Amino acid sequence: MRGRPNPLTFCLALLASLVFAAHPAAAQSILRDAETEQLLLDMAAPLIEASELEPGNVELVLINDGSINAFVAGGQAIYVHTGLIGAAESANEVQGVLAHELGHITAGHVVRFNERTKAANGISILSLLLGVGAALAGAGDAAMGIIAAGQQAAMGSFLSFNRDQEAATDLAGVRYLSGAGISGKGMIKFFERLRGNEIRAGYSQTDEAGYARTHPLTGDRIQTLRGLLEEDRAWNAEPDPELQERFVRAKAKLFGYLSEPRRTLNAYPVRDTSVPARYARAYAYHKEARVDLALAEADALLALEPDNPWFLELKGQVLLESGRPKDALAPLRRSTELTRAHPLIAGMLGHALIATEDPANFAEAEQVLRASVQRDRYNPFAWYQLGVVYEARGDIPRARLASAEVQVMNRQYPQALANAQAAEAYLPYGSADWIRAQDVALEARAELERVKNRR
């Protein structure tokens, strides 16, 4: 058995835990897929226009997480979990979620969330300090009471603020769906799915339970939203069939890529010759190194749609990752052409060109990789491949700059600073790469200072 804790020790421990709890959580794993990213952007485009945000400023980021979630964590970026795409049955459902998340952006809820967190921490810290004072005065029971009341007040204030935010954001989502002429049926269906999951998981749906929640009760949200959405002129608008087909394909692709091959083959048996099933099976076979079967599925897809850039990317990926880079060049070149040099596909083409180990291909590799990183600087794999090209031709300053780009993205700030400074010293003065080396060095130095100050 454990004795009753010393009030002063307990107060100090709580104060320490509160300070440490303020540290940011570790970054989640980002999953890059050109097709899915483009799909999310296209689904969000009319909603972004309705929200009056600048389309080019809103970013959609796919997170490799099986939970059903989407969130905004700063700036104008919406993070979508793969689990949300897997749980949704239609593009319209995902659009309902995106409309809600856009509401968080337009209302500036991330900034207000941080402000409210500080306010709640202020209440907690004040109660702890008062508790410490009472404990030092010998009033142990009073100290414990002060702490408990302070913690309850802080949590109640914080949760109430979050519930109010979510309710306001639901209404903003309704406005954006209406403005875009998109039916709200998907939003309602998705909330109903969430409520079903909550009930199966044993979460209470009563008013008393709502006090301790970060979100309003799902049943209450559905009731409010249904009343608004059913009266909207877009309620009976037909969903975009092309968008729905693209969603079903991307969903199957993600399932095949992320799931165990056995699960994929059970969900999409060989007798199913639909496009989504072939897509999922191609990735399942590729994961098991059954190259002939993976290529057979890719070729069957291309027989239906010879100029589908994503099917060409699939074939090129299977060939490249199966040790056949020369054979991968043709489909990847065509995919790059059709997508107007999408950064991820251009990066894969650059990788294939280098993997041929033919110096004659290195000039083309440099060209496509430079185009890739110019359109998407946050692609460490493309930067790494570009560094390989530079090193192979003896351009060590640019090779070190490419290494610095990779290292700063991987939070290896000391190495990034050293490589950026070395690159700057030997690059042509005033050139674009020389200026970029300065920028990377400044970023790395600033991060090192921030880490030092936290200590």
**270-279 residue pLDDT tens:** 999 999 999 9
Q: What is the pLDDT of residue 132?
A: 47
DSSP per residue, 61-85: EEE---SS-EEE-STTEEEEEHHHH
Listed range (56-70, 105-119, 276-290, 333-347) with the worst mean pLDDT:
105-119
Inside any domain, residue 257: no
- pLDDT band at 16; cut points 50, 70, 90: very low
Report which residue type is found at 180. A
Report which residue type is found at 414. P
- For the cut 60, the answer to whether the pLDDT of residue 189 exceeds it is yes
pLDDT digits (tens, 9 = 90+) for 135-156: 455 555 554 554 454 455 444 4
Q: Percentage of residues in the chain with pLDDT exceeding 90? A: 68
Inside any domain, residue 395: no
Inside any domain, residue 99: yes
**Residue 63, H or E segment:** strand 59-63
Inside any domain, residue 350: no
Inside any domain, residue 39: yes
Residue length of the chain: 455
- C-alpha span between 343 and 1 (Å, rounded): 61
Inside any domain, residue 353: no
- pLDDT band at 223; cut points 50, 70, 90: confident
How many structural domains are present in the chain? 1
* Paired strand residues for 67: none
- C-alpha span between 326 and 320 (Å, rounded): 8
Inside any domain, residue 433: no
Q: Collapse the DSSP code of 61 into the 3-class scheme (helix H, G, I; strand E, B; otherwise coil) and give the result.
A: strand
Report which residue type is found at 442. L
- For the cut 60, the answer to whether the pLDDT of residue 11 exceeds it is no
**Mean pLDDT value across residues 347-376:** 96
**Residue 339, H or E segment:** none
The domain that holds 31 is classified in CATH as 3.30.2010.10
Inside any domain, residue 297: no
pLDDT digits (tens, 9 = 90+) for 67-94: 999 999 878 999 999 999 999 999 999 9
Q: Which has more pLDDT, 186 or 164?
A: 186
Range of the domain at 47: 8-14+27-229
- For the cut 60, the answer to whether the pLDDT of residue 202 exceeds it is yes
Q: Collapse the DSSP code of 59 into the 3-class scheme (helix H, G, I; strand E, B; otherwise coil) and give the result.
A: strand
- C-alpha span between 395 and 400 (Å, rounded): 9
- For the cut 80, the answer to whether the pLDDT of residue 422 exceeds it is yes
Note whether 127 and 147 are within 8 A (CB).
Answer: yes
* Sign of the dihedral through C-alpha 111, 113, 118, 122: positive
pLDDT digits (tens, 9 = 90+) for 30-72: 999 999 999 999 999 999 999 999 988 999 999 999 999 999 9
- For the cut 70, the answer to whether the pLDDT of residue 164 exceeds it is no
Q: What is the pLDDT of residue 19?
A: 39
- Tell me whether residue 134 is exposed, middle or buried, using C-beta atoms within 10 angstroms of its C-beta: 0 to 12, 13 to 18, 19 or more: buried
Q: Which has more pLDDT, 181 or 24?
A: 181
**pLDDT averaged over every residue in the chain:** 84
- For the cut 50, the answer to whether the pLDDT of residue 226 exceeds it is yes
- For the cut 60, the answer to whether the pLDDT of residue 313 exceeds it is yes
